[in-house]
A = this chain, B = another copy of it.
Amino acid sequence: MTRTALETTTGTAALLPQMFTRYGADVNGALKSSLSSEHNFVYDTLRYAMGWTDSKGNAVAASTGKALRPILCLFACDAVGGSINKAIPAAMALEFIHNFSLIHDDIQDKDQTRRGRPTLWVVWGESKAIVAGNVLRVVADMSLEQLVQQDVVVPDALTVIEILTEAYLQMIEGQYLDLEFESRFDIELDDYLGMISRKTGALIRCALEMGAVLGTPDKRTVAAFREFGRSLGFVFQIRDDVLGVWGEPEKTGKPVGADIRRKKNSFPVVHAMNYAKGTDARRLQEVYRKEVLEDSDVSDILTVMERLGTQKQAQGLAEEHCEGALRSLESVELSPEARSDIESLAEFLLIRDH
């Protein structure tokens, strides 16, 4: 992707690439049918967490995420010439695991709302939220049992199970590292990037790798999609970090400097901690030692970041990874449509505004 291509699309930053609508219905249909057949009351909490029902179990206008991971999985399978039906079980597993991790994350961060609604632990209490998250994690595993019913050969099914298990382990190791980094001032940028490549990157990478495995026996193609996913994971998370500090409140639903105020480990903070000198460095440490941050603290940090060019550095790194992502797939034979999808996707992740 050239810089020009990037700049010309900046005006449509908020538009979801077409692949989201192309595969969205398949993904949502499969997810819903998987949880709706269960009448056990644990599943009320899960349907709520997925955004389909209110806390009484009544259907509501969906309040779901973008289903990025399952969409990526179906796309990769489709792009390499596979049948997307084969990738549906893996796509479901990804979305369930993602939502499981949100349920547990919200307990850990004591977050009260998600997608505009009270979090699961706020409604049902921490104990049930821990267990409900664990149930969703098993529902994910059970989705994979459908691989064989979709005519996936057993060795491929085992490979997919291994890829997902490995990625899932990396994801939780990343969560643990993230907790370990809390209230530390000595995190190097590379440590931070290593953490997000696990915490967020692993599942995105594995979405593309599993989709490719299920679509083609060609190991080189699979490796290229894996590499594509690895870079895309960085683009996704670094852009997320940029939005968490400089996103427009009416788009992100969060106040300016939201991630600074909640003292979230993110690229901008780690960048500022690493490069601030003198009074700026002292002010940073002083602010990050406080229990609760005031408006003036947040605006001081924003000023330090402006002096350091933190936003430009972050967005620049995301662009590098975006270009790396596209390079990974250069040598893979793909239809012009697939290649155009890939460019739209990478650009979207780089410039999205929410």
* Inter-subunit contact A141/B165 (CB<8 Å): yes
The residues of B that contact A130 with a CB separation of less than 8 Å are: 104, 107-108, 130
Minimum distance in angstroms from A76 CB to a CB of chain B:
23
Bound-complex Cα distance A101 to B279 (A): 48
Bound-complex Cα distance A135 to B155 (A): 25
* Inter-subunit contact A176/B42 (CB<8 Å): yes
Q: How many copies does the complex hold?
A: 2
Bound-complex Cα distance A269 to B158 (A): 46
Interface size class of A (residues with CB under 8 A): 35 or more
The residues of B that contact A155 with a CB separation of less than 8 Å are: 154
A137 interface residue per 8 A CB criterion? yes
A residues 134-178 touching B (CB-CB < 8 Å): 134-135, 137-139, 141-142, 145, 148, 154-155, 157-158, 161-162, 165-166, 168-169, 172-173, 175-176
* Residue of B with least CB distance to A127: B108
Minimum distance in angstroms from A157 CB to a CB of chain B:
7
Bound-complex Cα distance A131 to B107 (A): 11
The residues of B that contact A168 with a CB separation of less than 8 Å are: 138
Bound-complex Cα distance A158 to B156 (A): 12
* Inter-subunit contact A138/B165 (CB<8 Å): yes
The residues of B that contact A157 with a CB separation of less than 8 Å are: 158
Minimum distance in angstroms from A290 CB to a CB of chain B:
20
* Residue of B with least CB distance to A168: B138
The residues of B that contact A135 with a CB separation of less than 8 Å are: 169, 172-173, 176
* Inter-subunit contact B104/A172 (CB<8 Å): no
The residues of B that contact A175 with a CB separation of less than 8 Å are: 131, 134
A128 interface residue per 8 A CB criterion? yes
* Inter-subunit contact A131/B145 (CB<8 Å): no
Closest 9 CB pairs of A and B: A108-B127, A138-B169, A42-B176, A131-B176, A134-B172, A141-B165, A131-B175, A135-B172, A154-B154
**Given contacts A107-B126, A138-B172, could you give 19 more A-B pairs where the C-beta distance is less than 8 Å?**
A40-B173, A41-B180, A42-B176, A104-B131, A108-B130, A128-B180, A131-B172, A131-B179, A135-B172, A135-B176, A138-B168, A138-B169, A139-B169, A142-B165, A142-B166, A154-B154, A154-B158, A157-B158, A158-B158
> Can you give 29 A-B contacts (C-beta < 8 A)?
A40-B173, A41-B176, A41-B180, A42-B173, A104-B131, A104-B134, A107-B127, A108-B126, A108-B127, A128-B180, A131-B175, A131-B176, A131-B179, A134-B137, A134-B172, A134-B175, A135-B169, A138-B168, A139-B169, A141-B165, A142-B165, A142-B166, A142-B169, A154-B154, A154-B155, A154-B158, A157-B158, A158-B158, A161-B161
